[in-house]
Amino acid sequence: MDAALMRLVRQRANGRCEYCRLAQAASGVAFEIDHIIARHHRGRTVASNLADSCIYCNGHKGPNISGLDPATGKLTPLFHPRRHKWSHHSRYEGGTRIGRTAIGRTTVGATTPATKAARGSDALPSVGRQSKCCGSTCPISWNYAKY
Ligand SMILES: [Zn+2]
């Protein structure tokens, strides 16, 4: 990917994961450029198909472009950062990300680490606490409250 395109995507995201709003500065691990429509589905490497993403969202979304809404079981497209407004589809309640719409609910499910059961909930770690999202070797320390 060319440096100018990567810079455009990073600047447009303003230092936040475009799926979960995690701040890059709080992540401790470099964000990745996500193909919203994966190359697997013939998604192109153009600004309108790219999003800055934390490693969790990018890793759990993978090449998926849809999922099953946990409330209805219906096939639903995932959140598209270029077409959808984040605050319309998602919100945080306390430290927990909540889907407000079918797209939001489906995307939360598709981008939330499968190990959330190990954390007991989808709640984000509190300030200064080491995340246990990836196990004891995880280098990530989320600090949403600070950002
Ligand atoms: Zn994220």
Three-state SS for 138? Answer: coil
Contact 58, 67 (CB under 8 A): no
Taking the centre of ligand 1 as the mean of its atom positions, its distance from the CA of residue 72, in whole angstroms, is 24
Q: What six digits make up the tokens of 77? A: 């497209």
Q: What six digits make up the tokens of 126? A: 């509190």
Taking the centre of ligand 1 as the mean of its atom positions, its distance from the CA of residue 54, in whole angstroms, is 4
Strands (E), the chain: 32-35, 50-53, 66-68, 75-77, 90-93, 96-99
Taking the centre of ligand 1 as the mean of its atom positions, its distance from the CA of residue 35, in whole angstroms, is 14
How many Cα atoms within 13 Å fall on the side-chain side of residue 19? 33
Residues of the chain with pLDDT under 70: 113-147
Taking the centre of ligand 1 as the mean of its atom positions, its distance from the CA of residue 57, in whole angstroms, is 4
- Model pTM above 0.85: no
Quick: pLDDT tens for 51-88: 999 999 999 999 999 999 999 999 999 999 999 999 99
Taking the centre of ligand 1 as the mean of its atom positions, its distance from the CA of residue 42, in whole angstroms, is 23
